[in-house]
Amino acid sequence: MDGGPGRDGGVLYASGTMLVELAVRDLGVIESARITLAPGATALTGETGAGKTMVVEALQLVCGSRADPQRVRPGAAESVVEALFVAPPSAPGEPETEFVVRRVVPVDGRSRAYVDDALVPVGRLAELTEGLVEIHGQHSQQGLLSTGAQRAALDRFGGVDTTVLEECRAEVRRLEADLESLGGDPDARQRELELLRHQVAELDGASPEAGEDERLELEEDLLDGAVEHRAAGDAAIAALVDDAGVADRLAQVVASVAGRSPYADLTARLDTLAVELTEVTSDLRRVAESIEVDDARLAAVRERRQLLADLRRRHGVGSTDELVEFAEELRGRLGDLEGLLGRAEALDEELRLARARLADEAGIVGDARREAAPRLAAAVEATLQRLALPSCRVRVQVDDDPALPGAGGRVEVLLAANPGAPPAPLARVASGGELSRVMLALRLVGSGGPATMVFDEVDAGIGGEAANAVAAALSEVADEHQVLLVTHLAQIASVADAQVLVEKTTDGSSTTTGLRPLDRAGRVVELSRMLSGSPDSEVARQHAEELLASREGVGR
């Protein structure tokens, strides 16, 4: 972390959100307990079996860990854990922001999670508290064992700036998403384009016209019966104008009644018929004379009708009018797809360049990580030797992630805690106490971390000078982090800014655990118990006084 108000700077560390209060009800041996946490270090001490582990488990629950209904206090319906977090002001002059995380674990049924009394999925708690609280100890290691956390530790230690790399990755993802949004794969789009071009060319070559079916049908009928049509016209004309034909007979009728007054009106109508008959005869002659036998044109019309029928069948339409509409649709789709392919080609080129930039930046970041890895290993190893692991060896392995070659995205801290053993992943070779000390060492060499850190029995298996070294190291971490120490060692408890006693009481029928903040006098008594097993030992009390006085003399 980049410094901050720390132990002298008020309620919050400048760099993050802090846990300020934890309330537990009906969890294990805890009936009801509440603890207020200040900046700096708070030691959680007490007899073995008093319930210190339950406090750590309560923190795990509000951080989204798996709930165990068997942990519900006997006789209770459910366990409830609440944690109050305070976030620093978003800007100078702005107020702090508080939020409450609550986890309810019933004896029967699913556990429930709440943020500010709003029901949320349990997984939301893990997302919300990730980066806020880190728990390390005998039974839990939140974050340390993940590749992401170890990579982040290396980047912070080596000053590896991944800003440009992440920007390049974001740009590649954006371009890939844009290409994906175009729909289909490039090969499929190309195949569709070729098909559309073929179909449009075929239809443009045929040039179907609206109403063409009816026109061609009439023309074929005319050409196919041209001889008969001409003969019928000639016969009709002859019947009208030949001797004793309709025209002569009509003339005779007119002559018979002409000049006779009773037929005056009818004579006029007969005259009109004679004029109309002349005109009809003329029109018949004109039409008959216009009819010509043209076998070549007949064949062309039939071929055209067959072509249109084949196109209608091929494209699944019922008429040439529909074929014309379909051709227009194909031209529109072709234009759209050609524009789409133009956009795809441009995006392909942008993506190619973006991937090249990403590969270049990945190489830069990977080189920086590989250069920093042995330095981090040496620094952590030296610190661990000071923290009661004198024979340990540390190696930081940097490998590529196939998803991003060159960047060294797979970072793993390997530990050999004992002489002769090959370095292996932490999860396989490190005990809870060793893991806590590895994390402590990572924090000491400047690899950052969240505002609140919990070390559960980091003192396991150590004593004497080693315990003093671990205590000094934890004190350093507490300068920039809020630290909760669950410990059995007086040396470690004495460096804390505050101390809370976890004590078990019984009334003969039930046992409960409570949390009691200790004043200075109470701390002397508790430290005496931790040192000698007897809180009344005068020698132990003097030693406890010396431990506290030494801490107070160093100051913060």
Q: What is the mean pLDDT of the chain?
A: 84
Report the chain's terminal Cα–Cα distance, integer Å: 17
In a domain, 165, yes or no: no
Tell me: do 223 and 335 sit in the same domain: yes
Tell me: do 510 and 541 sit in the same domain: no
Cβ-Cβ contacts under 8 Å for 142 (sequence gap 6 or more): 60, 63, 133, 134, 135, 136
Tell me the angle at which helices 295-315 and 212-224 cross, rounded to the nearest 10 degrees. Answer: 150
Tell me: do 327 and 466 sit in the same domain: no
Q: Give, for 209, the enclosing helix (H) or strand (E).
A: none
394 neighbors 418 (Cβ within 8 angstroms): no
Residue 211 has pLDDT above 60, yes or no: yes
- What is residue 1's predicted lDDT score, i.e. its pLDDT? 34
Tell me: do 317 and 289 sit in the same domain: yes
| Confidence band for 184, pLDDT divided at 50, 70 and 90 | low
Average the pLDDT over each of 12-26, 358-372, 523-537 and give the range with the smallest value. 12-26
In a domain, 461, yes or no: yes
Tell me: do 220 and 244 sit in the same domain: yes
- CATH number for the domain harbouring residue 466: 3.40.50.300
Please compute the mean of the pLDDT values over residues 466-481 and round it to a whole number: 82
Q: Cα–Cα distance between 19 and 6 in angstroms, integer?
A: 14
- What is residue 102's predicted lDDT score, i.e. its pLDDT? 95
Tell me: do 474 and 543 sit in the same domain: no
- 339, 355, 388: which is the final residue of a domain? 339
- What is residue 464's predicted lDDT score, i.e. its pLDDT? 73
Q: Is the backbone of residue 116 left (phi > 0), alpha (psi -120 to 50) or beta?
A: left
**What are the backbone dihedrals phi and psi of residue 486, each rounded to the nearest 5 degrees, phi first?**
-95, 110
In a domain, 84, yes or no: yes
Average the pLDDT over each of 67-81, 305-319, 401-415, 472-486 and give the range with the smallest value. 472-486
Q: Cα–Cα distance between 367 and 220 in angstroms, integer?
A: 82
Tell me: do 327 and 205 sit in the same domain: yes
Tell me: do 489 and 546 sit in the same domain: no
| Confidence band for 7, pLDDT divided at 50, 70 and 90 | very low
In a domain, 493, yes or no: yes
Q: Cα–Cα distance between 366 and 153 in angstroms, integer?
A: 15
Query: Count of CB atoms within 10 A of residue 51's CB?
Result: 24
Residue position matching structure tokens 């559960």 = 456
145 or 403, which is more confident? 403
| Confidence band for 553, pLDDT divided at 50, 70 and 90 | low
Give the DSSP letter of residue 450.
-
Tell me: do 192 and 330 sit in the same domain: yes
In a domain, 524, yes or no: yes
- What is residue 221's predicted lDDT score, i.e. its pLDDT? 85
In a domain, 552, yes or no: yes
- Condensed to tens digits (0 to 9), the pLDDT of residues 123-180 reads 898 888 877 888 876 545 545 667 887 888 899 889 999 999 999 999 999 988 887 7
Q: Cα–Cα distance between 8 and 40 in angstroms, integer?
A: 9
| Confidence band for 106, pLDDT divided at 50, 70 and 90 | very high
| Confidence band for 554, pLDDT divided at 50, 70 and 90 | low
Tell me: do 490 and 541 sit in the same domain: no
Residue 360 has pLDDT above 60, yes or no: yes
- 339, 372, 402: which is the final residue of a domain? 339
Tell me: do 255 and 330 sit in the same domain: yes
44 neighbors 486 (Cβ within 8 angstroms): yes
Tell me: do 465 and 534 sit in the same domain: no
Please compute the mean of the pLDDT values over residues 71-90 and round it to a whole number: 90
- 339, 363, 379: which is the final residue of a domain? 339
Q: Cα–Cα distance between 551 and 459 in angstroms, integer?
A: 18
In a domain, 465, yes or no: yes
Q: Cα–Cα distance between 113 and 438 in angstroms, integer?
A: 32
Residue 315 has pLDDT above 60, yes or no: yes
Distances (CA, A) of 48 to 75, 141, 503, 504: 24, 21, 10, 10
In a domain, 380, yes or no: no
What's the number of domains the chain is made of?
3
Owning domain of residue 20 = 1-132+450-518
What tokens does 405 get?
């070659």
- What is residue 467's predicted lDDT score, i.e. its pLDDT? 77
What tokens does 335 get?
């234009």
